Amino acid sequence: MPTSLADRRPDVPASRLVADMVPPPRFRDVSFDGYRADPAVPSQVAAVAAARSFAAGIDDGVGVRRRGWFRRGAAVPEPGSGLYLDGGFGVGKTHLLASLWHAARVPAERKLFCTFVELTNLAGALGFGATVEALSAHRLVCVDEFELDDPGDTVLVSTLLGRLSERGVRLAASSNTLPGQLGAGRFAAADFLREIQRLADRFTVVRVDGEDYRHRGLPSAPSPVPDALVVSSAVGDDVTLDDFDALAAHLATVHPSRYGPLLDGVRRVHLREVHTVDDQPAALRLVVLADRLYDRDVPVVAGGVPLDRLFTPELLAGGYRKKYVRAVSRLTALSRDGVASLGSR
């Protein structure tokens, strides 16, 4: 019998939260040289140069020159600034951010790579003061999928990054949203404009344009796998099989920061009876799961509706549209991998 994700409840000790903050398996060995910049998109070439320059300016020196926070609009960030990679989904921002982490001339134990949700969870698990102390021991902190979904996160992250900067920590981030627009459409951002602006001022913004590389010249989504085949092909201790509704219900009981450990040791995920989701909290949890599946390069074999119909048009038109589109893009790529893996059995 295959195992089930819905039967897993990972227990992640606080000590592991920091230790796990490294580029995920998909980006474990990436480099700037491996980034395939589209020559028709000048901003991609410029982004590689900016990220290279930023990484070259980081070393393990003890002395840190103090200066004003960050300037906006410079083509190449100056020493002492933070780097913010902004662009649509599928243009390689995570690849660039992970390449920056690898290229920085700092021992691995002195640099961190995490997602935004992992950063906020760390603060919740350790407490704010302990988090500042833990992260201040590093020279570089890279934050992927930077986003603010509620006012509490806005104040928390703004204050946290301010404290880290005061201690000489260099910051780099990637997001689908310009820093000045974080939170737009999700909560009363105008009420927290000062915090949002303070956060935005900490970074030099580098735009990365282009089309989604995962689907260049490919059809939008493969046809769903018949549910009978989803079940019969779920063979092996490292393959999971779940009813879609049961998994969605289980995700509500697991903190999103633990969705990565939920996939420990999993080679392929099988889902049957996938259907369109219209509930926003459930949809956002599926977004996080899609991100962790993609990070870990785990193929998905799915039956039911095509994965490009996972979210309702109403959700896709709302404030979290970019998150949903990113999830569909990633799940579609993983489902192609899943179908291909069945043919290689």
Contacts of 61 (CB under 8 A, 6+ apart): none
State how far Cα 146 lies from the chain centre: 8
User: What average pLDDT does range 177-189 have in this prediction?
Assistant: 46
User: What average pLDDT does range 211-225 have in this prediction?
Assistant: 64
Every domain range in the chain assigned CATH 3.40.50.300: 31-211
The most confident of the ranges 7-21, 66-80, 256-270, 308-322 is 256-270
Contacts of 199 (CB under 8 A, 6+ apart): 148, 154, 157, 158, 161, 179, 182
Structure confidence at residue 117 (pLDDT) = 81
Q: Which amino acid is at 4?
A: S
Tokens linked to 279: 């509930």
User: What average pLDDT does range 21-37 have in this prediction?
Assistant: 93
User: What average pLDDT does range 257-270 have in this prediction?
Assistant: 93
Q: Which amino acid is at 316?
A: L
Confidence band (pLDDT; 50, 70, 90) for 344? low
Q: Which amino acid is at 304?
A: G
Contacts of 30 (CB under 8 A, 6+ apart): 23, 95, 98, 99, 102
How many whole angstroms separate alpha carbon 127 and alpha carbon 125?
Answer: 6
Confidence band (pLDDT; 50, 70, 90) for 193? very low
Lowest mean pLDDT among 146-150, 156-160, 232-236, 307-311: 146-150
- pLDDT tens for 275-296 read 999 999 999 999 999 999 999 9
Lowest mean pLDDT among 134-143, 206-215, 313-322, 329-338: 206-215
Structure confidence at residue 70 (pLDDT) = 39
- pLDDT tens for 150-176 read 666 767 887 888 888 888 899 898 876
Cα–Cα nearest to 137, from 161, 114, 112, 162: 112
Give long-range contacts, CB 8 A cutoff, 24+ apart: 149-156.
Answer: 149/183, 149/186, 149/187, 149/284, 150/186, 150/187, 151/183, 151/187, 151/188, 151/191, 151/192, 153/120, 154/182, 154/183, 154/192, 154/195, 154/196, 154/199, 155/192, 155/195, 156/120, 156/123, 156/128
- Note the pTM of the prediction, 2 decimals: 0.76
Structure confidence at residue 37 (pLDDT) = 87
How many whole angstroms separate alpha carbon 224 and alpha carbon 325?
Answer: 19
DSSP code for 48: H
Q: What is the mean pLDDT of the chain?
A: 82
- pLDDT tens for 48-75 read 999 999 999 998 764 344 333 334 443 3
State how far Cα 202 lies from the chain centre: 20
The answer on pLDDT for 109 being more than 50 is yes
Q: Which amino acid is at 201?
A: D
Tokens linked to 55: 């990484």
For residue 190, how many C-alpha atoms fall within 13 Å in the half-sphere facing its CB? 0
User: What average pLDDT does range 312-321 have in this prediction?
Assistant: 87
DSSP code for 305: S
- pLDDT tens for 93-108 read 999 999 999 999 999 9
User: What average pLDDT does range 178-195 have in this prediction?
Assistant: 46
In this structure, which CATH number among 3.40.50.300, 3.40.640.10, 3.90.380.10, 3.40.50.720 belongs to the domain 31-211?
3.40.50.300
* pLDDT > 90 in the chain, percent: 47
How many whole angstroms separate alpha carbon 282 and alpha carbon 182?
Answer: 21
